[in-house]
């Protein structure tokens, strides 16, 4: 049996797919699992040994695609079309993924078919190219469940999906291994989304608060120069007790750092999902999108967000920037205290 999964979205979305992949491999250990993702996001799947073949396609953003990308994508499409698949699941809800799944000519080709307000209805032209349309299991549920529900009924998977997957054997050592000598917390404040950003001065206060509870704090960030600069500023004034990854850690190395950490504090990013995948207790600040859809999956955690009692549909009408600004420092420190008390 050969199964294709396509999910051409962001980095963290790939990790949210791993419970479905794990459950599929457990049910069909002899199955050959192919996964198609956006080029540049595949590294976070290094810890999912259930994947037999990982293929990539170009990023969709205008100005970032090249003729070389176009050529490689044609090769990928041709390879999929020439390979025999029994099942193909398109889970990214986009046309690029649907093209790959339809090209597979799998016996069962499956994609989501939404009704408003749960999602954008699937055009009739695409409905003709798939012979299994998933119309249930959507609604206000976690994204892991959205992926899982799209596959569960077709493959007869158990009702409850497993945790996310980043295997310990796939983790790699990093340069900070010998520098961090005791218990530590990881802070990941960096994000390119304004709707997820929290003021830097408050983040620095959180770092100071964490140093009352841990000998050291590690600031995680990506390779973007702006993120590296912000992380460096968070380290200033703490006499070497606060260290930065400087954007140099691979996902396998960051997984190792999170696996050894006592606590993760951050925003809704791929790093947050990686912390959940390795079981690191987490405190996460949410503006947009909804916490019910992207909160840490099957990992001890506390969500911090403003206007928590507001009806979700009404809350979502407010700007994410405003919702993040309304999160106070005491709200975050209280969540940290509660999370640490639960782990004691």
Cis geometry, peptide bond prior to residue 117 (ω within 30 degrees of 0)? yes
- What tokens were used for 160? 């409850």
User: In CATH, what is the architecture of 169-343?
Assistant: 3-Layer(aba) Sandwich (3.40)
324-333 long-range contacts, Cβ below 8 Å, gap at least 24?
Answer: 324/195, 324/196, 324/197, 324/198, 324/285, 324/287, 325/198, 325/199, 327/198, 327/285, 327/287, 329/202, 329/205, 329/206, 331/304, 331/306, 332/202, 332/206, 332/265, 332/283, 332/285, 332/304, 333/206, 333/209
Identify the pLDDT of residue 61. 61
Cis amide linkage into residue 335, ω under 30° from 0: no
Q: Are 245 and 254 in contact (CB under 8 A)?
A: yes
**Cα Rg of the chain (Å, integer):** 21
Give the pLDDT score at 177. Answer: 87
Average pLDDT over residues 135-142: 87
pTM over 0.85: yes
Tell me the pairing of strands 282-285 and 301-304.
parallel
Q: Is the pLDDT of residue 102 over 80?
A: yes
Q: What is the pLDDT of residues 19-78, one digit of tens each?
A: 999 999 999 999 999 999 999 999 999 999 999 999 999 877 655 677 777 788 888 999
Give the residue among 162, 193, 165 at the shortest CA–CA distance from 269: 193
Q: What percent of the chain has pLDDT over 70?
A: 98
Whether 2-165 and 169-343 share one fold: the answer is yes
**54 membership: H or E segment, kind and range:** strand 53-57
pLDDT at 86 over 80: yes
Give the orientation angle of helix 329-343 with respect to helix 200-211, to 10 degrees.
30
C-alpha distances out from residue 3 to 86, 106, 161, 209, Å? 6, 8, 18, 48
pLDDT at 62: 54
Structure tokens at 235: 């380290």
- Provide the phi-psi class of 237: left if phi over 0, else alpha when psi is between -120 and 50, else beta: left
Query: Do 142 and 268 contact (CB within 8 A), yes or no?
Result: no
Q: Which two tokens stand for residue 39?
A: 């080029």
Residue, of 312 and 232, whose pLDDT is higher: 232
The class of domain 2-165 in CATH terms is: alpha beta
Over 60: is that where the pLDDT of 222 sits?
A: yes
Q: 302 forms bridges with which residues in the sheet? A: 283
Instruction: Count other C-beta atoms under 10 Å from residue 180's C-beta.
Output: 17
Strand partners, 33: 3
d(CA 76, CA 55): 7
- Indicate if the pLDDT at residue 336 is higher than 90: yes
Going from the C-alpha of 96 to that of each of 16, 63, 67, 201, 330, the distances in angstroms are 19, 17, 17, 41, 44
Domain ranges of the chain: 2-165, 169-343
């Amino acid at each position: 049996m050969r199964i294709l999964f396509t999910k051409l979205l962001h980095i963290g979305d790939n990790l949210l797919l791993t419970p479905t992949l794990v459950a599929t491999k457990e049910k069909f250990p002899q199955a050959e699992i192919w996964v198609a993702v956006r080029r540049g996001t595949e590294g976070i799947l290094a810890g999912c040994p259930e994947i037999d073949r990982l293929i990539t396609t170009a990023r969709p953003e205008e100005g970032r695609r090249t003729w070389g990308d176009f050529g490689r994508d044609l090769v990928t499409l041709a390879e999929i079309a020439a390979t025999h698949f029994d099942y193909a699941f398109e889970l990214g809800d986009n046309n690029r993924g649907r093209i790959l799944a339809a090209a597979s000519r799998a016996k069962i080709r499956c994609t989501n078919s939404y009704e408003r307000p749960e999602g954008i209805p699937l055009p009739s032209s695409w409905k003709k190219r798939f012979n299994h349309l998933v119309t249930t299991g959507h609604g206000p549920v976690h994204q892991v469940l959205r992926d899982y529900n799209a596959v569960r009924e077709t493959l007869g998977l158990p009702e409850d999906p497993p945790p996310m997957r980043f295997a310990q054997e796939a983790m790699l050592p990093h340069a900070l291994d010998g520098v961090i000598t005791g218990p530590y917390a990881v802070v990941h404040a960096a994000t390119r989304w304004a709707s997820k950003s929290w003021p830097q001065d408050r983040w620095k206060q959180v770092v100071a608060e964490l140093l009352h509870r841990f000998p050291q704090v590690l600031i995680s960030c990506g390779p973007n120069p702006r993120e590296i600069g912000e992380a460096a500023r968070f380290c200033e004034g703490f006499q070497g007790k606060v260290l930065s990854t400087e954007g140099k850690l691979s996902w396998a190395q960051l997984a190792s750092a999170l696996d050894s950490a006592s606590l993760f504090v951050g925003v809704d990013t791929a790093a947050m999902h990686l912390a959940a995948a390795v079981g690191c207790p987490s405190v996460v600040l949410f503006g947009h999108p909804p916490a019910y859809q992207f909160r840490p999956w099957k990992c001890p955690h506390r969500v911090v967000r403003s206007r928590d009692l507001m009806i979700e549909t009404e809350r979502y009408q407010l700007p994410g920037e405003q919702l993040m600004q309304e999160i106070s420092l005491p709200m975050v420190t209280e969540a940290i205290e509660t999370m640490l008390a639960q782990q004691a």
